[in-house]
Structure 1
Amino acid sequence: MYGRGLINGDFVLISGDTISNMSLKEVLQEHKDRRKKDPLAVMTMIIKHSKPSILMHQTRLGTDEIVMALASETKELLYYEDRADSSHLCVTIDKDILANNPTLQLHNNMEDCYIDICSPDVLSLFTDNFDYQHLRRHFVKGLLVDDIMGYKIYTHEIHSSYAARIDNFRSYDAVSKDIIQRWTYPMVPDVLSFGNCHEMKLHRQGIYKASDVTLSHSAQIGANSVIGNATSIGEQCKILNSVIGEGCSIGKNVLIHGSYIWDNVIIEDGCKVSNSLVCDDVHLRAGAIVEPGCILSFKIKVGKNVVVPAYSKVSLLDKPSNEDSDEELEYADTNSGVTDSAPFSSTRGNADHPTIVSEDDELGASETCTSGVLGYIWASGDTGILEEWRQSIAPIPKEKLQELQHAVSVDGDVGSEEDLNNRPSEADRDNDSEIGVIEDDDYTKFEKEVEETFQRAVDGVHQDNLILEINALRCKLVSFPLMLSYSLQHADCAGAVFYSIMRAALVAAQSTNDSLLKSTADALTKWKDLLRNYTKTVDEEMEILLKFEEMCQEITKEFSPLFSKILPYLYDKEIVSEVAILRWAEEKENADEPDKVFVKQSDVFIQWLKEAEEEDEDDEEEE
């Protein structure tokens, strides 16, 4: 394009696997204005806030955390590293950067959206450096260390808009869930299909169904699921948190959880598919089990009662033995290795060794043996097989989370979970000159990180694993005494977790109060045990009530008219106790009128609690 002169002005460079709903108007104008003042400003990168997991040092998209150094005032990019030394939790920055910039911002909480505004100079730079294989590791880092040309890269952070790149299976899963939960609006299933002959409609709990779906009365469709056109689902099936494409045939007693089933797939009776991706025209015979993390490529056939082990990748094509393609060079951690055998050691048939069969063989023809799988297993390399979970659709295994949490605890030299849960006394906090109470901005950051942790784990992850993540986050914060430090209390965790749950309920609901109430009840039922883990005292229960008040007044006013209806539900589910509710109401007696709004709204329920308490006291006196 450069040689032909097809591009003469500024242009947008975007990865083909990026999805975004942002408007480019503001950043384009910002880039042009900057270019007028400084012709060396050749690129503006789009970035967004995305706190990486402190356990894995990667984002919810499965990519490595990025360390960026930015000039505080101009937002010029001074340093970029997408493979930081996470084992030592350190980075090395050239001393000249520090010498030339009195102040700079060092971030590991930014995500590269792979959307760039470029000047025509970028084309000539690519021509001069034709051996560049990776836009960031080679081109961007090359410009940053080039003192001769003096070209500069700037950043533009987006806040309310959505942008994400899908370059591994975990990001495919994360972005798909974001689309279903409408973070990418207007790029959501019902809007994109509007006006088509097979229009997709949004139902309660984030369920999307096409107009021509055959659904058995006994089948169960769970929240955040999509069912495509001309798909039939048999009796006693459970489709949970999954996407089913067009023209699929699903038999009886099938369980599909956290998975993506593409078009024209046949799944016979009694099959189970967990946290996997099944491509077009795959055929699962009766009783087949696909364990978490599997990828079944196009036209794969799985025999009767075969168990496909976790993290298997099966294709009709051999895995290439060379890694010379542009894609392989771009992603240095791509695994290698070829196998033409099926290393399946676990089946539910009588055969000792399932085999790969030819296309002429009939899978599942015998009632007494398992015929196996039609396809090649793409084996991982020597080092890759241990890291499959990092970029998999499947949730992170609990044992791996525990291992990572232990590593974080050792690195941070922090105490046990029990030590963390013991709050310091007021005297301890008053006598410590370096450790004060949490500032509002600090708590907001902590609350945001808890919400992001909750969002990463909300789909198909056991609550114990989520508790490990949140506790690890708290451990990490405690290990930095000049930041949030020991003033971070258990009640703060309770408020942050409650906020995250209620935000998720709001996203899942439709526009009506009834829908929001139903969505909230479902969310609190699902996550009540998680909340109870952080509400073991009356003070912590009161933090839930105070946080709910704050949300209704400031952040999520949609809950305001429903406060008096949700409060009894919190009580019934034993999230907050009678003592906490009555103490909260008592403390509001002398408050200003605006602070009494929700106490008055809940007056009937509070009076009922008081009368019940008096009756209990009378019964005790009689005894």
Structure 2
Amino acid sequence: MGPKKGQTGGNKAKLGKQTTQQNAAPEETDQDERLQAIVLSDSYQTRFQPLTLETPRCLLPLCNTPLLEYTFEFLALAGVSEVIVVCCAHADQIQEYIANSRWSNPSSPFTIETVLSPESVSVGDAMRDLDAKGLITSDFLLVSGDIVCNVPFDKVLADHRQRRAKDKNAIMTMVLREASPFHRTRARAESAIFVLDEQTNQCVHYEEIKTRKHMKQISLDPEIFNKHTDLAIRNDFIDCHIDICSPDVPALFTENFDYNHIRKDFVHGILTSDLLGKTIFAHIVTDNYAARVRSLQTYDAVSKDVISRWTYPITPDSNLLADQTFQYQRGHIYKEDGIVLARSCRINSCTVVGAGTAVDDGTVITGSVIGRRCKIGKNVSIRSAYIWDDVTIEDDAIIESAIIANGAVIGASSHVAPGAIVSYNVKIDTNIVVDGNKRLTKYLGEEDKKVDTDAVGADGDGYVYEDASEAEEDDDYEEIVNSSGLVYNMASLNASDTSFSTVSADQAHRKSRRRRVSTASNNTVASEDSDEDSFLREAQASVERAVAENHDLDIAALELSTLRMAKNAQFHEVRAATIAALIGRISHLINSNTLKARAAVESVLNRWGPLFRRQVFDQADQIDFLLLIQRDCTRRMQGSSILLHAINCLYDQDILEEEAILTWWYQDPQRKEDADMVKVGELVPRWLEWLTTAEEESDS
């Protein structure tokens, strides 16, 4: 975790160029060893409008903490000594925030300088501006002001510097987080193919995928195959645009005025140029967390990840701001001091409640973030929503999967539908339904300021916001609207079935399912089945060997990861193999009368359960994980007891979340697809009853 918050600094910065000098690094520090960071505070997009008409994206709250705080925390952990924040829109707000933050204190781990770039309309413009100012003196870390990351950076930087020492043409290292294709923090509208040399991780080709155009092939220069014998074509990365760059990078932007985007212009251009001779590498992260809040979809996903502690040690109760007082409670509930909760209200799992907020009788809040000083009336229902500071929600209102910004008022009995945005100080009258495709704001030009009574009601105050600029300029606007909203348009997602179960019991089920969804030939299907079965056998044997020989957990995880990449297997198969091995071990301990069921489960899963943290990434994965355990337990003596205690143990370890367990039990049809699956789950209702009782007691 980064350093604990101190008091906010009292010195105000002047507009324009601003530097904190008190904590300047000693002069004797080797300039080449100091790490600069460039933070792009502007996204050069309109996806968060109308919110960003009044507040820069980097200062929007995520779990009641400005996004920029998460970025600075990452830079502190990465060992950065000098930060340059490039400001475009709302530069005055950003400068004021930094000047009054702990990062301007003498105890800050780095100096901060803000640079105005008011004319820039793209990343390329910002880089050219930096090059013209001559501020880059060494290799630097390039990030946006909207990242959440806990990746240790020592090895990433050391590998980059080692490559640079050998070859000055190695100008960039992209940090990419490995993830399943449907991981919730992947930006749906922005996907790409990376072609990497498997031996060196040199990126030899980059190409964006346009989902709407149903891209089925890419074109590679034949020369690539002459220079690189082993290539991997990868589409399983979360790309947060965290890059280590050499000082050549800004200069190359200056030389190429058509470079606007860092990936589709710069990286693609460098890799396809016959003249420049520059090389770009990837550093692939398989553990830890890295994500960027680049759309409303990822805002929702990253918020859930922070609440669920995937980002540890960066969690709400780490209290990144000096005046925060969050405390963690069971079920991923975080409460600040000074909140007032009526006796009959319910604060359910995965919820954050800020200081000074009052919640009245009968209100139920689930999976949501509530800001400070909010007033929430009686019998209100809030689910998967983001309520910022100083919001008033009157009696009987319903808010689902929406963002309600500072100072807004939601009238009694109104319904804000999933996907809606109610911007700053908008007032919704009583009995109004705000459709999910609506974005309401008060921030319009004087000539447009006529209250839209159809949208906000006769006594409301606000207007429907419509942004034509992105629709006109972006060829994939429809795709972005469908893919990057707060509620993802599931019709545009080609999701795979929640698949098969255990390694040994369900191979026929796997094959029949693949025949239903595959368009490949019978020979291809047979080959895929053979490869998959081979992986499952080898992976299960690997875990069994690790357990029997008491290997280090990291070594066991590394062996599984290496095998998965070698066999091009999916995380589903990794989970299936690991479950088969561990449940098999539990079953052996029980059947040999070594331990009773509960003790056997706890003995194995307390030691080896953390393996699943590297295999289970979102709610869909958790449901698949539960189905795999359930299926495996159908063929075990005392399978019902094993399933019950396994769920409890994995829940205590925060590997399984309450929401996923409830969805699996009450909504997933595969849980009861045959009599064996139903029978093995017969003890689970007892545990669910305990969970509900415990939650009610904690609320009271």
TM-score (normalised: structure 2): 0.57
Task: Work out the CA distance in 2 between the residues paired with 1:104 and 1:226.
Answer: 45
SS of the counterpart of 1:127? helix
SS of the counterpart of 1:136? helix
Which residue in the other structure is 2:268 paired with? 141
- Asked whether 1:43 is paired with 2:172, we answer yes
2:466 counterpart letter in structure 1:
W
* Partner deviation per Cα, 1:2-61 (whole Å, 9 max, x = no partner): 34443221111111211211222111111111011111100000001122239xxx9644
Task: Work out the CA distance in 2 between the residues paired with 1:494 and 1:154.
Answer: 47
Task: Work out the CA distance in 1 between the residues paired with 2:395 and 2:260.
Answer: 47
Which segments of 5 or more consecutive residues in structure 1 lack a partner in the other structure? Answer: 321-337, 343-353, 358-362, 364-369, 409-415, 472-487, 545-566, 575-623
* Partner deviation per Cα, 1:603-623 (whole Å, 9 max, x = no partner): xxxxxxxxxxxxxxxxxxxxx
SS of the counterpart of 2:251? helix
Which residue in the other structure is 1:375 paired with? 463
* Partner deviation per Cα, 1:504-523 (whole Å, 9 max, x = no partner): 97776479xxxx9xx78886
Task: Work out the CA distance in 2 between the residues paired with 1:504 and 1:570.
Answer: 9
- Asked whether 1:394 is paired with 2:487, we answer yes
Residues 23-172 of structure 1 correspond to what in structure 2 (within 5 A)?
A: 23-53=152-182, 60-84=186-210, 87-172=214-299
Task: Work out the CA distance in 2 between the residues paired with 1:500 and 1:118.
Answer: 49
* Partner deviation per Cα, 1:463-487 (whole Å, 9 max, x = no partner): 9xx89x999xxxxxxxxxxxxxxxx
Which residue in the other structure is 1:243 paired with? 369
Identify if the C-alpha distance between structure 1 residues 188 and 502 changes in structure 2 by more than 3 Å, giving closer, same or farther.
farther
Which residue in the other structure is 1:21 paired with? 150
Report the alpha carbon displacement of residue 313 of structure 1 after superposing the two structures with TM: 1.1
* Partner deviation per Cα, 1:418-442 (whole Å, 9 max, x = no partner): 952999xxxx99x967743342346
Which segments of 5 or more consecutive residues in structure 2 lack a partner in the other structure? Answer: 1-129, 499-508, 517-521, 537-563, 577-611, 689-700
- Asked whether 1:272 is paired with 2:398, we answer yes
1:65 counterpart letter in structure 2:
S
1:180 counterpart letter in structure 2:
I
Identify if the C-alpha distance between structure 1 residues 21 and 540 changes in structure 2 by more than 3 Å, giving closer, same or farther.
same
Which residue in the other structure is 2:140 paired with? 11
Which residue in the other structure is 1:609 paired with? none
Identify if the C-alpha distance between structure 1 residues 533 and 340 changes in structure 2 by more than 3 Å, giving closer, same or farther.
farther
Which residue in the other structure is 2:413 paired with? 287
Report the alpha carbon displacement of residue 198 of structure 1 after superposing the two structures with TM: 4.2
Residues 246-265 of structure 1 correspond to what in structure 2 (within 5 A)?
A: 246-265=372-391
Specify which of 223, 226, 244 is matched with residue 349 of structure 2. 223
2:462 counterpart letter in structure 1:
L
Task: Work out the CA distance in 2 between the residues paired with 1:374 and 1:132.
Answer: 39
**Number of equivalenced pairs:** 465
RMSD of Structure 2 on Structure 1 (CA): 4.7
Task: Work out the CA distance in 2 between the residues paired with 1:494 and 1:97.
Answer: 50
1:189 counterpart letter in structure 2:
P
SS of the counterpart of 1:92? coil
Task: Work out the CA distance in 1 between the residues paired with 2:288 and 2:615.
Answer: 19
Is the contact made by 2:438 and 2:464 (CA closer than 8 Å) also made in structure 1? no
Report the alpha carbon displacement of residue 532 of structure 1 after superposing the two structures with TM: 6.0
Between 292-301 and 128-137, the greater mean CA deviation after superposition: 128-137
Identify if the C-alpha distance between structure 1 residues 263 and 508 changes in structure 2 by more than 3 Å, giving closer, same or farther.
farther
2:465 counterpart letter in structure 1:
I
Report the alpha carbon displacement of residue 99 of structure 1 after superposing the two structures with TM: 3.6
Report the alpha carbon displacement of residue 377 of structure 1 after superposing the two structures with TM: 2.8
Is the contact made by 1:49 and 1:159 (CA closer than 8 Å) also made in structure 2? yes
SS of the counterpart of 1:82? strand
SS of the counterpart of 1:439? helix
2:487 counterpart letter in structure 1:
A
Identify if the C-alpha distance between structure 1 residues 181 and 144 changes in structure 2 by more than 3 Å, giving closer, same or farther.
same
Residues 383-462 of structure 1 correspond to what in structure 2 (within 5 A)?
A: 384=477, 388-394=481-487, 396-397=489-490, 400=491, 404=494, 420=513, 435-436=529-530, 437-440=533-536, 441=564, 445-447=571-573, 455-457=617-619
1:376 counterpart letter in structure 2:
V
Is the contact made by 1:224 and 1:241 (CA closer than 8 Å) also made in structure 2? yes
SS of the counterpart of 1:28? helix
Report the alpha carbon displacement of residue 494 of structure 1 after superposing the two structures with TM: 9.5
Residues 306-321 of structure 1 correspond to what in structure 2 (within 5 A)?
A: 306-318=432-444
Is the contact made by 2:350 and 2:368 (CA closer than 8 Å) also made in structure 1? yes
Task: Work out the CA distance in 1 between the residues paired with 2:255 and 2:193.
Answer: 27
The alignment-based identity, stated in percent, is 29
Report the alpha carbon displacement of residue 64 of structure 1 after superposing the two structures with TM: 2.6
1:375 counterpart letter in structure 2:
Y
Is the contact made by 1:355 and 1:373 (CA closer than 8 Å) also made in structure 2? no
Report the alpha carbon displacement of residue 251 of structure 1 after superposing the two structures with TM: 0.6
Report the alpha carbon displacement of residue 393 of structure 1 after superposing the two structures with TM: 1.6
1:178 counterpart letter in structure 2:
D
Which residue in the other structure is 2:426 paired with? 300
Task: Work out the CA distance in 2 between the residues paired with 1:131 and 1:79.
Answer: 19
SS of the counterpart of 2:235? strand
* Partner deviation per Cα, 1:371-421 (whole Å, 9 max, x = no partner): 455223326759856863421222545xx27x856999xxxxxxx999529
- Asked whether 1:569 is paired with 2:683, we answer yes
Report the alpha carbon displacement of residue 185 of structure 1 after superposing the two structures with TM: 1.3
Report the alpha carbon displacement of residue 91 of structure 1 after superposing the two structures with TM: 2.4
1:528 counterpart letter in structure 2:
W
Report the alpha carbon displacement of residue 457 of structure 1 after superposing the two structures with TM: 4.5
Task: Work out the CA distance in 2 between the residues paired with 1:529 and 1:213.
Answer: 33
Report the alpha carbon displacement of residue 127 of structure 1 after superposing the two structures with TM: 2.0
Is the contact made by 1:84 and 1:90 (CA closer than 8 Å) also made in structure 2? no
Identify if the C-alpha distance between structure 1 residues 432 and 520 changes in structure 2 by more than 3 Å, giving closer, same or farther.
closer
SS of the counterpart of 1:533? helix
TM-score (normalised: structure 1): 0.64
